Amino acid sequence: MLSKLELTNIQKHSHLIINFTNGINLIIGDTDAGKSCIIRAIKFLYYNEQPKKDAIRKEETKKSSVKGIFDNGITVERIKSNTVNAYILTIPGKKSERFDAIGKVVPERIKEILQTQTIVIEKDEIILNIADQIKLPFLLDKSGAFRMKLFNKLTGNDIIDKVFQGLNKDILQIGRTEKLEKENLEEGKSALKDLTKTKEICQVSLDKLAQKYTLLKKKVEKYNKINECKENLTSVNQEIKEAKLQLNGIHTIKEDKIIDLKQTIERYEHLNEQLYKIKRVKKELLEVEDKLKTTKVTEINVKDLRDKIEKLTKFQKY
Protein backbone atom coordinates (compact mmCIF):
# COMPACT_ATOMS: atom_id res chain seq x y z
CA MET A 1 0.00 0.00 0.00
CA LEU A 2 1.13 3.54 -0.77
CA SER A 3 2.13 5.13 2.54
CA LYS A 4 3.82 8.36 1.39
CA LEU A 5 3.76 10.51 -1.73
CA GLU A 6 6.48 13.09 -2.36
CA LEU A 7 6.07 15.72 -5.12
CA THR A 8 8.91 17.88 -6.38
CA ASN A 9 8.22 20.72 -8.85
CA ILE A 10 4.84 19.29 -9.85
CA GLN A 11 2.66 22.12 -11.19
CA LYS A 12 1.74 24.27 -8.13
CA HIS A 13 3.85 22.30 -5.67
CA SER A 14 7.58 22.94 -5.29
CA HIS A 15 7.86 20.24 -2.68
CA LEU A 16 4.97 18.38 -1.06
CA ILE A 17 4.87 15.26 1.14
CA ILE A 18 1.58 13.48 1.75
CA ASN A 19 1.28 10.64 4.25
CA PHE A 20 -1.52 8.12 3.76
CA THR A 21 -3.13 5.90 6.36
CA ASN A 22 -5.21 2.73 6.19
CA GLY A 23 -8.83 3.36 5.27
CA ILE A 24 -10.21 6.44 3.54
CA ASN A 25 -7.93 9.46 3.02
CA LEU A 26 -9.46 12.85 2.17
CA ILE A 27 -7.61 15.73 0.54
CA ILE A 28 -9.30 19.05 1.11
CA GLY A 29 -8.30 22.63 0.36
CA ASP A 30 -9.31 25.90 -1.21
CA THR A 31 -9.96 26.25 -4.89
CA ASP A 32 -6.79 26.31 -6.94
CA ALA A 33 -4.83 25.07 -3.94
CA GLY A 34 -3.37 22.14 -5.98
CA LYS A 35 -5.67 19.25 -5.05
CA SER A 36 -6.01 18.12 -8.68
CA CYS A 37 -2.22 18.30 -9.01
CA ILE A 38 -1.97 15.44 -6.50
CA ILE A 39 -4.29 13.28 -8.63
CA ARG A 40 -2.22 14.11 -11.73
CA ALA A 41 0.94 13.24 -9.82
CA ILE A 42 -0.52 9.83 -8.84
CA LYS A 43 -1.47 9.17 -12.49
CA PHE A 44 2.01 10.32 -13.53
CA LEU A 45 3.59 7.85 -11.09
CA TYR A 46 1.31 4.87 -11.64
CA TYR A 47 0.36 5.17 -15.31
CA ASN A 48 2.97 7.54 -16.80
CA GLU A 49 0.02 9.73 -17.76
CA GLN A 50 0.90 13.40 -18.13
CA PRO A 51 -0.61 16.52 -19.65
CA LYS A 52 0.58 17.74 -23.01
CA LYS A 53 4.23 18.70 -23.35
CA ASP A 54 5.71 19.66 -19.95
CA ALA A 55 2.48 20.79 -18.24
CA ILE A 56 3.22 18.45 -15.31
CA ARG A 57 6.37 20.43 -14.46
CA LYS A 58 6.23 23.53 -12.28
CA GLU A 59 6.92 26.70 -14.21
CA GLU A 60 10.51 27.94 -14.30
CA THR A 61 11.88 24.60 -13.07
CA LYS A 62 14.07 22.09 -14.93
CA LYS A 63 13.25 18.81 -13.21
CA SER A 64 10.09 17.26 -11.76
CA SER A 65 9.63 14.07 -9.80
CA VAL A 66 6.98 12.04 -8.03
CA LYS A 67 8.14 9.51 -5.46
CA GLY A 68 5.90 6.83 -4.01
CA ILE A 69 6.98 5.13 -0.78
CA PHE A 70 5.11 1.91 0.10
CA ASP A 71 4.51 0.23 3.43
CA ASN A 72 6.86 -2.65 2.45
CA GLY A 73 9.76 -0.20 2.06
CA ILE A 74 9.79 -0.19 -1.74
CA THR A 75 10.25 3.20 -3.39
CA VAL A 76 9.22 4.06 -6.96
CA GLU A 77 10.24 7.45 -8.37
CA ARG A 78 9.14 8.99 -11.66
CA ILE A 79 11.53 11.66 -12.99
CA LYS A 80 11.04 14.01 -15.95
CA SER A 81 13.28 16.80 -17.32
CA ASN A 82 14.51 18.04 -20.66
CA THR A 83 17.12 15.27 -20.75
CA VAL A 84 15.72 12.64 -18.39
CA ASN A 85 12.60 10.51 -18.73
CA ALA A 86 12.94 7.63 -16.27
CA TYR A 87 11.70 5.45 -13.45
CA ILE A 88 13.88 4.50 -10.45
CA LEU A 89 12.96 1.40 -8.46
CA THR A 90 14.48 0.90 -5.02
CA ILE A 91 13.91 -2.34 -3.10
CA PRO A 92 15.36 -2.64 0.39
CA GLY A 93 18.55 -4.66 0.43
CA LYS A 94 18.95 -4.47 -3.36
CA LYS A 95 20.63 -2.13 -5.80
CA SER A 96 18.35 0.48 -7.36
CA GLU A 97 17.05 -0.22 -10.87
CA ARG A 98 16.80 2.61 -13.38
CA PHE A 99 14.60 2.57 -16.50
CA ASP A 100 15.52 5.34 -18.98
CA ALA A 101 13.98 6.58 -22.22
CA ILE A 102 10.65 4.97 -21.45
CA GLY A 103 8.55 7.18 -23.69
CA LYS A 104 4.84 7.01 -22.81
CA VAL A 105 4.80 3.44 -21.47
CA VAL A 106 5.30 2.06 -17.98
CA PRO A 107 8.05 -0.59 -17.78
CA GLU A 108 6.74 -4.07 -17.02
CA ARG A 109 8.87 -4.31 -13.90
CA ILE A 110 7.26 -1.09 -12.53
CA LYS A 111 3.79 -2.40 -13.42
CA GLU A 112 4.58 -5.58 -11.50
CA ILE A 113 5.59 -3.59 -8.38
CA LEU A 114 2.72 -1.06 -8.57
CA GLN A 115 0.21 -3.77 -9.61
CA THR A 116 -1.42 -1.40 -12.09
CA GLN A 117 -3.57 -2.41 -15.02
CA THR A 118 -5.63 -0.50 -17.58
CA ILE A 119 -8.44 -1.67 -19.83
CA VAL A 120 -8.58 -0.71 -23.51
CA ILE A 121 -12.09 -0.20 -24.91
CA GLU A 122 -12.42 1.04 -28.50
CA LYS A 123 -8.77 2.23 -28.43
CA ASP A 124 -9.56 4.22 -25.28
CA GLU A 125 -7.37 3.28 -22.28
CA ILE A 126 -9.49 3.31 -19.12
CA ILE A 127 -8.07 3.71 -15.58
CA LEU A 128 -10.67 2.20 -13.27
CA ASN A 129 -8.93 3.12 -10.02
CA ILE A 130 -8.86 6.90 -10.59
CA ALA A 131 -11.74 9.09 -11.80
CA ASP A 132 -11.09 12.30 -13.65
CA GLN A 133 -12.18 15.58 -12.14
CA ILE A 134 -15.66 16.88 -13.03
CA LYS A 135 -16.71 13.63 -14.75
CA LEU A 136 -19.87 11.64 -14.23
CA PRO A 137 -19.44 8.57 -12.02
CA PHE A 138 -19.71 5.01 -13.30
CA LEU A 139 -18.80 6.13 -16.85
CA LEU A 140 -22.25 7.65 -17.31
CA ASP A 141 -20.73 10.02 -19.85
CA LYS A 142 -19.99 6.99 -22.09
CA SER A 143 -22.45 5.24 -24.36
CA GLY A 144 -24.34 2.14 -23.30
CA ALA A 145 -22.41 0.06 -25.82
CA PHE A 146 -19.16 1.34 -24.36
CA ARG A 147 -20.23 0.45 -20.82
CA MET A 148 -21.42 -2.98 -22.00
CA LYS A 149 -18.02 -3.65 -23.57
CA LEU A 150 -16.35 -2.57 -20.34
CA PHE A 151 -18.65 -4.85 -18.32
CA ASN A 152 -17.86 -7.75 -20.68
CA LYS A 153 -14.17 -7.03 -20.32
CA LEU A 154 -14.39 -7.00 -16.53
CA THR A 155 -16.50 -10.18 -16.33
CA GLY A 156 -14.65 -12.05 -19.06
CA ASN A 157 -17.66 -12.06 -21.39
CA ASP A 158 -15.52 -10.33 -24.02
CA ILE A 159 -13.70 -13.62 -24.46
CA ILE A 160 -17.03 -15.30 -25.23
CA ASP A 161 -17.86 -12.43 -27.60
CA LYS A 162 -14.53 -12.91 -29.36
CA VAL A 163 -15.17 -16.64 -29.53
CA PHE A 164 -18.60 -16.04 -31.10
CA GLN A 165 -17.17 -13.41 -33.44
CA GLY A 166 -14.44 -15.83 -34.47
CA LEU A 167 -17.04 -18.58 -34.83
CA ASN A 168 -19.22 -16.35 -37.01
CA LYS A 169 -16.22 -15.45 -39.12
CA ASP A 170 -15.35 -19.12 -39.43
CA ILE A 171 -18.94 -19.96 -40.41
CA LEU A 172 -18.91 -17.20 -43.02
CA GLN A 173 -15.53 -18.34 -44.26
CA ILE A 174 -16.70 -21.96 -44.39
CA GLY A 175 -19.80 -20.83 -46.31
CA ARG A 176 -17.67 -18.89 -48.79
CA THR A 177 -15.27 -21.80 -49.08
CA GLU A 178 -18.14 -24.24 -49.58
CA LYS A 179 -19.65 -22.03 -52.27
CA LEU A 180 -16.27 -21.67 -53.96
CA GLU A 181 -15.65 -25.42 -53.75
CA LYS A 182 -19.09 -26.11 -55.25
CA GLU A 183 -18.33 -23.70 -58.09
CA ASN A 184 -14.95 -25.37 -58.58
CA LEU A 185 -16.68 -28.78 -58.50
CA GLU A 186 -19.17 -27.71 -61.16
CA GLU A 187 -16.33 -26.29 -63.24
CA GLY A 188 -14.45 -29.55 -62.72
CA LYS A 189 -17.48 -31.58 -63.81
CA SER A 190 -17.88 -29.42 -66.90
CA ALA A 191 -14.18 -29.70 -67.66
CA LEU A 192 -14.35 -33.48 -67.12
CA LYS A 193 -17.29 -33.71 -69.50
CA ASP A 194 -15.37 -31.73 -72.12
CA LEU A 195 -12.31 -33.89 -71.54
CA THR A 196 -14.42 -37.05 -71.92
CA LYS A 197 -15.70 -35.80 -75.29
CA THR A 198 -12.19 -34.85 -76.30
CA LYS A 199 -10.98 -38.30 -75.22
CA GLU A 200 -13.65 -39.99 -77.34
CA ILE A 201 -12.68 -37.86 -80.35
CA CYS A 202 -9.01 -38.60 -79.74
CA GLN A 203 -9.78 -42.31 -79.39
CA VAL A 204 -11.55 -42.32 -82.78
CA SER A 205 -8.61 -40.47 -84.31
CA LEU A 206 -6.23 -42.90 -82.64
CA ASP A 207 -8.11 -45.90 -84.02
CA LYS A 208 -7.97 -44.39 -87.51
CA LEU A 209 -4.28 -43.70 -87.12
CA ALA A 210 -3.76 -47.30 -85.95
CA GLN A 211 -5.52 -48.59 -89.07
CA LYS A 212 -3.48 -46.29 -91.29
CA TYR A 213 -0.33 -47.39 -89.49
CA THR A 214 -1.15 -51.08 -90.04
CA LEU A 215 -1.88 -50.42 -93.73
CA LEU A 216 1.28 -48.39 -94.07
CA LYS A 217 3.28 -51.13 -92.36
CA LYS A 218 1.96 -53.68 -94.88
CA LYS A 219 2.83 -51.36 -97.75
CA VAL A 220 6.32 -50.89 -96.36
CA GLU A 221 6.77 -54.67 -96.14
CA LYS A 222 5.49 -54.99 -99.73
CA TYR A 223 7.80 -52.21 -100.83
CA ASN A 224 10.76 -53.96 -99.16
CA LYS A 225 9.89 -57.19 -100.93
CA ILE A 226 9.61 -55.36 -104.27
CA ASN A 227 12.97 -53.77 -103.64
CA GLU A 228 14.43 -57.18 -102.84
CA CYS A 229 12.94 -58.60 -106.06
CA LYS A 230 14.29 -55.62 -107.94
CA GLU A 231 17.76 -56.25 -106.58
CA ASN A 232 17.48 -59.96 -107.47
CA LEU A 233 16.23 -59.06 -110.97
CA THR A 234 19.14 -56.66 -111.42
CA SER A 235 21.52 -59.43 -110.34
CA VAL A 236 19.89 -61.93 -112.73
CA ASN A 237 20.03 -59.41 -115.61
CA GLN A 238 23.71 -58.91 -114.88
CA GLU A 239 24.29 -62.65 -114.93
CA ILE A 240 22.35 -62.90 -118.22
CA LYS A 241 24.54 -60.17 -119.74
CA GLU A 242 27.65 -62.00 -118.59
CA ALA A 243 26.29 -65.29 -119.98
CA LYS A 244 25.50 -63.61 -123.31
CA LEU A 245 29.03 -62.27 -123.49
CA GLN A 246 30.37 -65.78 -122.83
CA LEU A 247 28.01 -67.27 -125.43
CA ASN A 248 29.15 -64.70 -127.98
CA GLY A 249 32.69 -66.07 -127.55
CA ILE A 250 31.63 -69.69 -128.31
CA HIS A 251 31.74 -70.85 -132.00
CA THR A 252 28.88 -73.03 -133.20
CA ILE A 253 29.72 -76.54 -134.49
CA LYS A 254 28.10 -77.98 -137.55
CA GLU A 255 25.71 -80.90 -137.21
CA ASP A 256 27.77 -83.39 -139.28
CA LYS A 257 30.79 -82.69 -137.12
CA ILE A 258 28.67 -83.23 -134.05
CA ILE A 259 27.60 -86.62 -135.46
CA ASP A 260 31.23 -87.57 -136.17
CA LEU A 261 32.15 -86.44 -132.69
CA LYS A 262 29.42 -88.61 -131.18
CA GLN A 263 30.62 -91.64 -133.20
CA THR A 264 34.21 -91.04 -132.14
CA ILE A 265 33.05 -90.83 -128.52
CA GLU A 266 31.15 -94.10 -128.91
CA ARG A 267 34.21 -95.82 -130.41
CA TYR A 268 36.34 -94.42 -127.65
CA GLU A 269 33.97 -95.76 -125.02
CA HIS A 270 33.92 -99.19 -126.78
CA LEU A 271 37.70 -99.30 -126.92
CA ASN A 272 37.83 -98.31 -123.27
CA GLU A 273 35.54 -101.18 -122.45
CA GLN A 274 37.66 -103.68 -124.50
CA LEU A 275 40.80 -102.38 -122.89
CA TYR A 276 39.28 -103.07 -119.52
CA LYS A 277 38.47 -106.61 -120.62
CA ILE A 278 42.03 -107.15 -121.94
CA LYS A 279 43.45 -105.97 -118.65
CA ARG A 280 41.21 -108.39 -116.83
CA VAL A 281 42.27 -111.31 -119.13
CA LYS A 282 45.90 -110.34 -118.75
CA LYS A 283 45.47 -110.41 -115.03
CA GLU A 284 43.91 -113.87 -115.28
CA LEU A 285 46.82 -115.06 -117.45
CA LEU A 286 49.31 -113.79 -114.94
CA GLU A 287 47.49 -115.61 -112.23
CA VAL A 288 47.55 -118.78 -114.41
CA GLU A 289 51.22 -118.30 -115.07
CA ASP A 290 51.93 -118.03 -111.39
CA LYS A 291 49.96 -121.15 -110.75
CA LEU A 292 51.79 -122.98 -113.55
CA LYS A 293 55.12 -122.10 -112.01
CA THR A 294 54.10 -123.74 -108.79
CA THR A 295 52.14 -126.57 -110.32
CA LYS A 296 53.50 -129.67 -111.97
CA VAL A 297 52.26 -130.09 -115.52
CA THR A 298 50.72 -133.48 -115.95
CA GLU A 299 48.54 -133.02 -118.93
CA ILE A 300 47.63 -130.14 -121.23
CA ASN A 301 44.09 -129.64 -122.38
CA VAL A 302 44.67 -128.63 -125.98
CA LYS A 303 41.07 -127.73 -126.61
CA ASP A 304 40.93 -125.20 -123.77
CA LEU A 305 44.21 -123.75 -124.86
CA ARG A 306 42.96 -123.24 -128.40
CA ASP A 307 39.84 -121.52 -127.15
CA LYS A 308 41.86 -119.10 -125.10
CA ILE A 309 44.19 -118.39 -128.05
CA GLU A 310 41.21 -117.63 -130.23
CA LYS A 311 39.79 -115.23 -127.64
CA LEU A 312 43.14 -113.53 -127.41
CA THR A 313 43.31 -113.22 -131.16
CA LYS A 314 39.87 -111.63 -131.29
CA PHE A 315 40.85 -109.08 -128.64
CA GLN A 316 43.96 -108.15 -130.57
CA LYS A 317 41.90 -107.46 -133.68
CA TYR A 318 39.96 -104.82 -131.83
Is residue 73 assigned to a domain?
A: yes
Residue 76 banded pLDDT, cuts 50, 70, 90? very high
Q: Is it the case that residue 299 has pLDDT exceeding 60?
A: no
Structure confidence at residue 121 (pLDDT):
76
CATH for 38: 3.40.50.300
Structure confidence at residue 136 (pLDDT):
64
Structure confidence at residue 315 (pLDDT):
66
Structure confidence at residue 246 (pLDDT):
80
Q: Is it the case that residue 61 has pLDDT exceeding 90?
A: no
Out of 116, 136, 152, pick the residue that ends a domain: 116
Residue 300 banded pLDDT, cuts 50, 70, 90? low
Total domain count, the chain? 2
Out of 116, 143, 159, pick the residue that ends a domain: 116
Structure confidence at residue 53 (pLDDT):
60
Mean pLDDT computed over 80-91: 92
Is residue 39 assigned to a domain?
A: yes
Is residue 207 assigned to a domain?
A: no
Is residue 81 assigned to a domain?
A: yes
* Bigger pLDDT: 184 vs 287: 184
Q: What is the DSSP string of 204-243?
A: HHHHHHHHHHHHHHHHHHHHHHHHHHHHHHHHHHHHHHHH
Is residue 234 assigned to a domain?
A: no
* Bigger pLDDT: 251 vs 311: 311
Is residue 238 assigned to a domain?
A: no
Q: Is it the case that residue 298 has pLDDT exceeding 60?
A: no
Confirm if 11 and 40 have CB atoms less than 8 A apart.
Answer: yes
Q: Is it the case that residue 97 has pLDDT exceeding 90?
A: yes
Is residue 145 assigned to a domain?
A: no
Out of 116, 143, 161, pick the residue that ends a domain: 116
Structure confidence at residue 104 (pLDDT):
84
Range of the domain at 32: 2-116
- Half-sphere exposure of residue 209: CA atoms within 13 angstroms, side-chain side: 6
CA distances from 249 to 142, 252, 254 (A): 139, 10, 16
Is residue 59 assigned to a domain?
A: yes
Structure confidence at residue 316 (pLDDT):
60
* Four-CA torsion 169, 175, 181, 184, nearest 10 degrees: -110
- Half-sphere exposure of residue 236: CA atoms within 13 angstroms, side-chain side: 6
Q: Other CB atoms closer than 10 Å to residue 11's CB: what's the count?
A: 19
